[in-house]
A and B are shown apart, each in its own frame.
Chain A
Amino acid sequence: MESARVRHQQYVRGQFRLTDVVETYLARIETQKYLNAFIQVYADEARERARELDERRAKGESLGALAGLVIAVKDNIVIKDHLTTCASHILDHFVAPYHATVVEKILQADGVIIGKTNLDEFAMGSSTENSYFGAVRNPVDPERVPGGSSGGSAVAVAAGMADLALGSDTGGSIRQPAAFCGVVGLKPTYGRVSRYGLVAYASSLDQIGPFGHTVEDVALLTRVIAGPDPRDSTTVPVEVPDYLKALNQSPLDLTIGIPREYYQEGLDPNIREAIQSVVDRLRKAGFTIRELHLPLTDYAIAAYYIVATAEASSNLARYDGVRYGYRAPQAEDLQEMYFRTRSEGFGTEVKRRIMLGTYVLSAGYYEAYYKKAQQVRRMIKDEFDAAFREVDVLITPTTPTPAFRLGEKLDDPLQMYLSDIYTVTVNLAGICALNLPIGETPEGLPIGMQLMGGMFRESDLFRLGHFIEKQLVGPVH
């Protein structure tokens, strides 16, 4: 599979017509419908936009950074006048009245949006099985999950139905499916990419990020969507570097850290070995590698599920049947309308998290749960800050196991939550992290490695990731 960056360059040079590419992708979406990656496909719109771009190119007009590329968008990111369902019954007919900032940026950069991808309802899940529109299947092995919650976006890229895709990552929702599907995925630093137009799950943890075949692809899309946004006060006015240029710089100046806590019990031996082998090769290549400890890692899952569910319980209060979305018919009074709308409109996992979150914020429990979780979060952040004074990039597994079977963890929420064990710390600390495919298990399931970087140090991840991809691993596909 060619990288998106190369394809963009080929397109600008006139080596292929976008209308043809769009037809190819639409055909692949059609033949791989069983993967259930898309909730909506904008076939006519994509064809029309491709024709416009081809015409503009023919006239010699200048083209944006994404010209020639086809992009899929997770269906919790709004596109004006299009459905945004969040894979929920409660929003299954909701038409957004505005564009998300990232969508505006993609359109301005001449990207073609081909459709909206499937996800765990309101991005709550780690397998993309909690969707009102049905589970998504992993293209590597359709009996296995693609990971979640951005499973549809990971599959769209992995199965060649789009060049690039947008996901959202609250506790690993980009990196974990990227690892399960064998693609590159980035969780940017909190505040790097505008959340305006991302339907909130947990506001202080959510971040939109890209999927691509290569580090270069992800760098390209990050460059387009990153930057401060006056409509999102939590974006940070930090300059967005030219990530593609950064890829040319040798990463040998970067010190690498190996946090021991990420390699303990429960880690699949194939994943452990694959990472070990990459680390060995990095050492041979001349990198400084240090082992270190992040002892608070053990508390991350607990802190995460308190903070995330607390915010979710409040963020999802607006789906009450009053102004938009599903409303239970023929309710006798307001109280019944609320109860029935929300009972019928939300799926099981969403309701579980709303109840958990409501509980941890309740009078008498706030101090014991929410407040304590925030304190733990602060300490985890401090622990990472200290680590990043010693090293530049941390290398960990992305997931404890490769892709598991459909239905395997569906009835055991705790097991499902533990599949985020290596990814949630990054969201709690607000730092950035990248999943890099580094190999396969003997069964042929993709193995992902996670690179974590300090605040706004995406360049470090791209440089090191690009080096590993080009020099050590070779193309995984």
Chain B
Amino acid sequence: MKTNNLDNFSDERIMNLLTPRFAPTTNLEFKAPTSRRRTLWQVARIGAVAAMVAVAVFVGISGVQTSTARDIVERALTQLLESDNCLVRFTANVTENNNSGELYDVDFDGTPMQGTLEIRKEDSKIKMAIKWQDDERSMELYDGQTYRRYQNGQLVLERPDEGIDLTPLTSLEKLKPYAAAMGLLLKFREEDDMILVSTRGDKVEIVARFSKSKGCLLDAECSGLYNGQQVTVLTVDQIDFNVPPAEE
């Protein structure tokens, strides 16, 4: 009997030793993807250039979540929300898409091509345009209802397209659960004046660099693992706000 009591007591001690007292917690959220609209993250996975650039910009702006970086985020977000437009100059490795999707696919084996993405707010709607520096001076427009492709100034393709849903990216509160629901993890680390924000998805990693002192996003890069190496497929070279519309 004594032995049994001792065993019970000892068992209790073993259980106490094994029972976690300092277990960390997580904020991960899982939600089934909805197919109602194409979302940025879904599009990013299939390599749409526009989405990838937009993701880089918006994630970069919205992804810094530490208390020390909070002010920077708020300032950057305010800058975005108060801007009528945002112009992103980028370089992407692309191959021509022969299907009826976007003009180019981002591709590890692709050819580097420069482009400009313009995100414009008009009456609470967000419109996007990509201008490519290719021989045809291609331009792709998304107005939330239609996708239009112009080459050499001529409309060559038009189809209904709900566009890319930027709604979740208008505030930190919306972005955080949205990214988590899509299975993307936002990570950040600080280096001197820089805050680096990165995402982890199934194929593409996006890293955005922030300036603490300037309180804005400096640049962003999309890369992925290809043939055992991390290959950069898209680089955001410059981001400007409130740029007057160019005459076409």
Chains A and B form a bound pair: no
